[in-house]
Chains A and B, each alone.
Chain A
Amino acid sequence: DQQVKQNSPSLSVQEGRISILNCDYTNSMFDYFLWYKKYPAEGPTFLISISSIKDKNEDGRFTVFLNKSAKHLSLHIVPSQPGDSAVYFCAASEYNQGGKLIFGQGTELSVKP
């Protein structure tokens, strides 16, 4: 049972435009959500996170939006740059479950010059 889902395996965006990566979850007990970026042969790199008590968190070009009623979150990257091309994983955790991360399947973002 996939508790965190990223339904788009890939996304292609033109440089300078906005990239929007989506993530849905089923477990209403999740209280913390994170986005990771991963290059081949490297470990996931932490990008940005959001607590369930917030609906938006912004860090430079990256903004994460959380819609708890829809159990949906999204990562906005603006403006997109070719160096952003990577696989993006959405992850969720539940405080009472020791902080382990439940990952989505990942979305491969390609930013074209």
Chain B
Amino acid sequence: AAGVIQSPRHLIKEKRETATLKCYPIPRHDTVYWYQQGPGQDPQFLISFYEKMQSDKGSIPDRFSAQQFSDYHSELNMSSLELGDSALYFCASSSSSGRAYNEQFFGPGTRLTVL
């Protein structure tokens, strides 16, 4: 079965650079979530989109922005990168239909390292 695809899997950037992370949800899933997992920490919710509109916002820095496109893929744009942005970034998708509306399926993650 098709899963959530994230690219790139690994990314190394210098401080103050920008990064773009991409997420391709499971087909027919209309909702995308972004999470950040720091070393030894639990995943923290960043932002979510439903039908291409932002549906919720968590602890996402102003330096970060995201959007969901017409094909439902999503991109997380990160500017003025800081050392503390080094983390695993997960994308998850879910379907708003049916009872399993918030069973989220996660991608493999993008490991961002800021030097």
Q: Using CB atoms and an 8 Å cutoff, list the residues of chain A in contact with chain B.
A: 32, 34, 36, 41-46, 49, 89, 93, 95, 97-106
Contacts and interface: CB of A to CB of B under 8 A. Distances in A.
B73 to A, nearest CB: 16
A43 B44 CA distance: 13
A45 B55 CA distance: 23
Nearest to A93: B102
Interface string B25-66: 000000101010000011111001010000110100000000
Nearest to B43: A103
Interface in B67-115: 90, 92, 94, 100-109, 111
Interface majority SS (helix, strand, loop, mixed), chain B: strand
Contacts of B100: 49
Given A46-B103, A49-B103, A98 B42 contact: no
Given A89-B43, A103-B43, A98 B56 contact: yes
A85 to B, nearest CB: 18
Contacts of A44: 43, 90, 106
For the complex of A and B, the 9 pairs showing the least CB-CB separation, nearest first, are A43-B106, A98-B56, A99-B102, A103-B42, A100-B45, A44-B106, A98-B55, A93-B102, A43-B108
